[in-house]
Amino acid sequence: MAKGFPVGALGQHAPRWLAGRWFTALWLTLLLAGGAAQAAERPVLLVMGDSLSAAYGIEQGTGWVSLLQARLDGKARVVNASISGETSSGAAARLPDLLGQHEPDIVVLELGGNDGLRGLPPRQFETHMADMIEASQASGAEVLLLGIDIPPNYGRAYRDAFTGVYTRLADDYDLSLVPFLLEGVVLEDGLMQSDGIHPTAAAQPQILENVWPILEPMIEEELNHG
């Protein structure tokens, strides 16, 4: 044992070099712990969507969900669980595992396009959406609905029944709602791909602008109460 170095905890007679290393190690430990805690406190957003949120036909990094992550600038973490071709049935089957894995604070439901294009019964679509809303809320997450529309050739009665699902769910479960995700996109030159269904990369900033005014207050609330 070196002269002047007491047995046990560091005391006032500990060598300066050892005390310095001990202080540095303590400082780094506290810094890392603080960083981990800060990261853990960031709200988590889970986006459950179809091709409109999966950047179909464009570069992945140009999709509106990627633009959202960039805009948040680290204040929140976005998990994009969207799959091209997804239906409400498929999403409802996948959601429980995703809720358990990511424990999101906000669940964004962007679904229905494929249900509508396949002519599936609106009541069936509504049942699946209600199941996802209830599962999300039971996990402690807030839910945001993103509404869509379907082409006119499906007939006014079917379109009204289909789009009415979003407003009814929003009313029944007291949810925030973006009535039409593609507002300002579908009728604009250069903002839709040749299939007439999927937006181009140039349309993605507008889609984010449609979502942001409704989503931002939800995120701020999570940050203030986190």
Q: With 0-12 CB in 10 A as exposed, 13-18 as middle and 19+ as buried, what is 129?
A: buried
Whether residue 82 lies in the annotated active site? no
Q: What type of residue is 205?
A: P
Residues in the chain: 226
Helix (H) or strand (E) holding 88: helix 88-102
Taking alpha carbons only, the member of 177, 99, 90, 89 closest to residue 138 is 99
User: Which residue is catalytic, options 189, 194, 195, 225?
Assistant: 195
User: What is the Cα–Cα distance from 106 to 68, expressed in whole angstroms?
Assistant: 14
Phi, psi of 118 (to 5 degrees): -90, 0
User: Which residue is catalytic, options 50, 51, 82, 115?
Assistant: 51
Whether residue 195 lies in the annotated active site? yes
User: What is the Cα–Cα distance from 181 to 7, expressed in whole angstroms?
Assistant: 69
CB 38 within 8 A of CB 76: no
User: Which residue is catalytic, options 88, 115, 136, 198?
Assistant: 198
Whether residue 131 lies in the annotated active site? no
Residues noted as catalytic: 51, 195, 198
